[in-house]
Structure 1
Amino acid sequence: MIHDATFGIAVLLGTGLAIAKLAQALRLPSVTGFILAGLLLGESGFGIITVDLLGNRLDHFTNIALMLIAFGIGEHVELRRLDGMRKNVAYIALMQALIGFTLVTLITLQIIWLVSDVQIITRHQLILSLLLGAISVATAPATTLHIVRELGTRGPMTSTLMAVVAVTDAIAIMTFGITVSTAHSLTGTDGLSLASLLICLYEISGSLLIGITTGLIINKVLDKLHNNGEMLTAGLALLLLCGELTRQLHLSSLLAGMMAGFVMINRSERDVRLFRIINGFEPPVYVLFFTLAGVHLDLSALKLAGWVGIAYFFARIIGKYCGTWVGAYLSGASQHIRNYLGFALIPQAGVAIGFVFMISTDPKLADWASTITPVVLAGVVLSELCGPLLVRITVEKSGEISSEEQKKQPASFITRLFTADDPHKDSPALEPWALGEMQPPTVPVGVIVVGTCHFATARALTRVATILAHHFDALPLAVRVLKKEEEKELSPEERRDLFLPESDEASQLGYPLRTELLYDKRASALIAATEAHKAKALVLGYPISRDPLKFQKILDPVSSEVHCPVIAVRFVGTMSWERILIPFIHPQELDVLLPIIEAMITSCHPKLTFQQLLFADSTRDERRAREKELESWAGSTVYDADSIRCLAEASESRLESILREARRHDLIIMTASEFKGMQRRVLGSLANVVVENCKNPVFVVYPGKAETSAQDTV
């Protein structure tokens, strides 16, 4: 059990993220993982995070998160984007709220009456059903917004969904206020007076007024600010002030936050900078919000809810779906919206829990709170576990997930399970050789050694080695290393057949292939072959596996002992080099890379991008000066490239800068880390993390013993 708030935050963040990644592997939304993490940490699970800790120290994170989430929802209700959809939004929001409220009220009333012993419906049962119907209108805007952002969806379905969610929660607040006033009148303690209706009107209009004022003030302040840090500070201060003001005045912070975002996005200047800055600030707040929501969920409520809870859950789903369908039909919305949008309105969380809290703290409704709390919480538990998946299915069916985000989505667990051991699934694809046969040198000068180990990579490695051989006026030499005990097991024909892929590929390029079969440990055999033949270069391939860096155990001793460059090739997708990216940090790296780049130019005339990664605080003048130096060097040194682009980038993350630029390229060529052993374990290797994370083929160039010594001398 944790009693320290800081430790609690660390556990919530770490556990939430870990289980969210597991959920993503199963093709479930991250939100589901966050909520499951909260369930495990809370009193329904291992009891690590207690309600006392939440109530005393961590609940203010929920208030902050709700305000930021509400503000983000307002961004999606842009009237210009809703041109042609306003009718759809109005009809769908009203009909699903009306039909959902009516259906939940009638079905729960019927179930309550059936399970009771009374002969007629009582006033107590009617109030209970009305309150459940009002609570059922609410949705889960935070869940919906998080999934939309996670999948990068954009289009009519997404715009309609976000607008309907925002309008629905406004309707839910109004419906709940009117229902509570009605319940007060039915208890006999109040009449259905003008005062009770005015209180409801006060909550709605007051929330809207504060939201509009906050949006206008934020917009005015942002006009005077240009620094991202200042905008974030000012924006957060005003949003949190808005949230606290509404709380003190017993208004709706959710409605106020939505209206603030709505005002900003619909102003004529349409300043979205604060939305974008807060997007980068939100992820840890989101994790805390949803894991805390999971901690609050009590699975024992599923038992206490009984038949009323089951009726509430299914009646709400039917009401939401049917109401959405009717609204979409009446407004003439598309078939996709009509058939699928209703599923995306199933999640229910924060607003509904807030309504339950208000009922439990209302002395006039205390008699109903003991029944409503487990029923609604049971519905929240079930809807938050299955609802996010339904939202994801909805946006997937609409086809509005961006192609870039679709590529990021992991394959399903089942798919990966049954393909994990397929030896051919990741075999590197080679573009057909369309340049004709190359002319081998009349008098070869040395060899390019290619160490082949697996048939899957033999052809691709041989092509690389042959192209290098053509540039260096050498011949390719294929070396295979077997265990010593296998020396007597292979027949001469079997030994010859081992090199069939290499021989076939070299002959297609017009080159003869020399071969050598060695029986020893792989590293020592490769070193011996390279040194014995005085090779111009050694070409090796990373294993095609989920952990290619296991190959480092061979690369390190080989690159440290041989006197020629070592090119380690990481195969991903199709091997091509029409567009080559050359990222580097120090200009001296280009001296190591230049021979390999020239060899690639020899085989075709690629487009080259030289990307120098500068310090993050580099000024614009420094970047421009470095780009001019690069252009001058490239113009005088690199010949026959189709085009050359020089880019000097102030990089906040070197890996992300490379990965972002790599999307527009076929191949990456970069130098290996200069660190070895423990130094590399502590300080890392940029080349290694690129090999691990990049979706492009990568050439990692080790300079070799002689060049390394020369660099050290300099």
Structure 2
Amino acid sequence: MPHIFDPLLGLSLIIAFGYLGGKIAHRLRLPSIIGNILAGAMLGPHGLGVLPLSLIVKDLRLVSSIAFGFIAVSVALHLRVRDLRATSGAPLIIALWETLLAFLLVAGAIYLGTGSERLSLLAGAIASTTAPAASLAVVRESRARGPFVSALLPTIALDNIIAILLFTSVMAFLRVKGSGTFLSQIAVPIVVGVLVGSAFCFLPASLKRDSRKVLGSSFLGLMAASGIAEHLNTSPFLATITLGFVIANCEGVHQEVSKALRELEPLIYLIFFTMAGVHLRFDVIVSAGGLIFVFVLGRFVGKFLGGFLGSLTSPLSSSWRGFLGLGLLPQAGLALGFLVMVQEAPGLGDVSDLLSAMVLSAVIINEFVGPLAIRFALRWAKEEGKALPPVLGFLEEEDIYLDLDAQDKWEAISRLVKFLCNRRCADLDLEGRFLEEVVKRELSMTTGIGHGLAIPHGVIEYQGGVIGVLGISQRGIEFGSLDGRPAHVILLTLVPEERLQEHLNALREFSRIFSKPFVMPALMEARTREEVMEVLREASL
């Protein structure tokens, strides 16, 4: 087969064959990433030989860098300080245990088997990573929610932060050209990411309302952080993951950026995984079968045992702590990103082929085993099916106001607004503005829609998503409802101006739930917030 050296034609083939490989894998009920990797292997120099390594390593390096930065930001967007506080710091303890144990077990076993310091340290650092995308996909598909999920997702994000520090430290320790000192590889990119990310906290509302502008701004920030880090000869990956962390904790921006990037996620991952597969050599896989087994087994033991030991030393429920490690088995984007960095680094050619065989094989195996393990853990923790539909995702157990008692709807609205703002509003001035808007809307037309349900709401210029509380009144509150009956269930929501469609979707779903005859009687019998949420979850199925 003739070699292709034109970057645009090469990229076109990567997208086309990667897409085809992913579709074939999906038809065979296999993860799409397996089809992407095998398509890349077929196109690469060890397959049909269509794409030479020089095209991937040099001519398409910009594409690889952008995709790598995209993965970094996507990983960090799951890391919110608010979520960590809610779990009392348990994810950090667990992440330290499982990443370090996986690193030590894999690095030690590979060193005993090969005697290569460089191969063992790099393999250990890559083994410490976990793929958030696969875990998040299973959680969403299972509609899982609860303490297990609340601990798992932040743990995965922190896992990858620690893995980046490990990998960066290993590259500096091995004195890979361009890796610099430990300080320059850690401190400098963090500063770059913070500075670029801080700009997102001040994006004007007009820009945030346009998803295309948000996407453009996100890529501009990604390329700026990565480019500045490259220019300073430091880690672009750590700069972009810091960028993602800052954005994740900027209220009013986090959801917009996540939604915008999600639109391009399939294409970016397709390109990146297919390009990684170009380096795959089947002859090396056959000869290194023993090391691949050691890598996969050592990582499994490290993740599972580390998750258990970390749970023991953190304030978590004992009912499922032994299974948290099962949620940490998927491995994809970050591991392949580290592998690409090794493949492109000068001076590591002697370990690149063997490391590629181990990592790519492990990714394929873990993409099979990982989702099944997560589903098993979710069932054991009894958290499958406990999440409300995405459009009602703003409601949590703590947002339920039980035994709401008020003389009239104005007092009820006032109490619910105060309850909501105490729960969710960082801006102390927002309570008065929100109450004013809700009252104004109620004066124009009653929101008591009948059948014991009322949906007061206020539309306001506010940076963030839709937030709300659910009030339950056993006695009933006169709301001027269309059917003349008092309201027993009151959903009060705060709606940012740019989220009107999202609010309408939520109301549509809420109306569908309450159209079922068993819902209202069941809510009247509920005595705890957990029972209220259970009724809503059952009715939403």
Q: TM-score range by the shorter chain?
A: 0.5 to 0.7
SS of alignment partner, residue 287 of structure 1? helix
Q: Which amino acid aligns with 1:331?
A: S
Question: Closer, same or farther in 2 for the Cα pair 1:336/1:250, shift >3 Å?
Answer: farther
- Post-superposition CA distance 1:176-195 (Å, at most 9, x none): 344455556xx9xxxxxxxx
Contact 2:306 2:325 in 1 (8 A): no
* Unpaired segments ≥5 residues, structure 2: 390-504, 514-541
Shift of 1:340: 5.0
Shift of 1:229: 2.3
Q: Which amino acid aligns with 2:258?
A: F
Give the Cα separation in 2 of the matches to 1:150 and 1:15: 27
SS of alignment partner, residue 272 of structure 1? helix
Q: Are 1:257 and 2:248 an aligned pair?
A: no
- Post-superposition CA distance 1:548-592 (Å, at most 9, x none): xxxxxxxxxxxxxxxxxxxxxxxxxxxxxxxxxxxxxxxxxxxxx
1:557 corresponds in structure 2 to none
1:323 corresponds in structure 2 to 306
- When Rg is computed on C-alpha atoms for both structures, the one with the higher figure is 1
SS of alignment partner, residue 234 of structure 2? coil
Q: Are 1:387 and 2:366 an aligned pair?
A: yes
Give the Cα separation in 1 of the matches to 2:109 and 2:346: 26
1:41 corresponds in structure 2 to 43
Q: Which aligned pairs between 1:296-315 and structure 2 lie closer than 5 A?
A: 296-303=279-286, 305=288, 307-315=290-298
- Post-superposition CA distance 1:226-260 (Å, at most 9, x none): 32222222221121111111222233333222222
Is the deviation greater in 45-54 or in 87-96? 45-54
Shift of 1:74: 1.9
TM-score by length of 2: 0.61
1:353 corresponds in structure 2 to 339
Question: Closer, same or farther in 2 for the Cα pair 1:131/1:8, shift >3 Å?
Answer: closer
Q: Which aligned pairs between 1:443-458 and structure 2 lie closer than 5 A?
A: none
Shift of 1:288: 1.1
Contact 1:208 1:259 in 2 (8 A): yes
1:22 corresponds in structure 2 to 24
Q: Are 1:138 and 2:121 an aligned pair?
A: no
Shift of 1:317: 2.7
Q: Are 1:238 and 2:229 an aligned pair?
A: no
SS of alignment partner, residue 14 of structure 1? helix
- Post-superposition CA distance 1:59-111 (Å, at most 9, x none): 32221122122212222112223344353311221111221222223322332
Contact 1:31 1:147 in 2 (8 A): no
1:277 corresponds in structure 2 to 260
2:489 corresponds in structure 1 to none
SS of alignment partner, residue 45 of structure 1? coil
1:75 corresponds, among 51, 58, 77, to: 77
Is the deviation greater in 97-106 or in 325-334? 325-334
Give the Cα separation in 2 of the matches to 1:23 and 1:306: 23
Contact 1:157 1:395 in 2 (8 A): no
1:170 corresponds in structure 2 to 161
2:436 corresponds in structure 1 to none
Shift of 1:262: 1.9
1:215 corresponds in structure 2 to 197
Q: Which amino acid aligns with 1:392?
A: P
Give the Cα separation in 1 of the matches to 2:299 and 2:341: 16
* Unpaired segments ≥5 residues, structure 1: 114-124, 188-195, 407-656, 666-714
Question: Closer, same or farther in 2 for the Cα pair 1:86/1:73, shift >3 Å?
Answer: farther
Give the Cα separation in 1 of the matches to 2:22 and 2:36: 6
1:338 corresponds in structure 2 to 322
Question: Closer, same or farther in 2 for the Cα pair 1:352/1:336, shift >3 Å?
Answer: farther
Give the Cα separation in 2 of the matches to 1:51 and 1:150: 38
Contact 1:216 1:263 in 2 (8 A): yes
Give the Cα separation in 1 of the matches to 2:264 and 2:292: 37
2:8 corresponds, among 6, 9, 12, to: 6
- Post-superposition CA distance 1:284-311 (Å, at most 9, x none): 2221111112223233332454644543
Give the Cα separation in 1 of the matches to 2:144 and 2:284: 35
Is the deviation greater in 136-145 or in 286-295? 136-145
Q: Which structure is higher in helix share?
A: 2
Contact 1:215 1:261 in 2 (8 A): yes
Question: Closer, same or farther in 2 for the Cα pair 1:256/1:310, shift >3 Å?
Answer: same
Shift of 1:131: 4.6
TM-score by length of 1: 0.48
Give the Cα separation in 1 of the matches to 2:45 and 2:133: 23
Give the Cα separation in 2 of the matches to 1:307 and 1:282: 34
Question: Closer, same or farther in 2 for the Cα pair 1:246/1:143, shift >3 Å?
Answer: farther
- Post-superposition CA distance 1:524-568 (Å, at most 9, x none): xxxxxxxxxxxxxxxxxxxxxxxxxxxxxxxxxxxxxxxxxxxxx
Give the Cα separation in 2 of the matches to 1:211 and 1:347: 25
Give the Cα separation in 1 of the matches to 2:210 and 2:51: 38
Contact 2:145 2:386 in 1 (8 A): no
Shift of 1:152: 7.5
Question: Closer, same or farther in 2 for the Cα pair 1:276/1:222, shift >3 Å?
Answer: farther
Question: Closer, same or farther in 2 for the Cα pair 1:231/1:355, shift >3 Å?
Answer: closer
Q: Which amino acid aligns with 1:329?
A: L
Give the Cα separation in 2 of the matches to 1:158 and 1:275: 19
Give the Cα separation in 2 of the matches to 1:151 and 1:18: 27
How many aligned residue pairs are there? Answer: 383
**Superposition CA RMSD, Å:** 3.7
2:433 corresponds in structure 1 to none
Which structure carries more relative contact order (alpha carbon 8 Å, separation 6+)? 2
Give the Cα separation in 2 of the matches to 1:59 and 1:265: 27
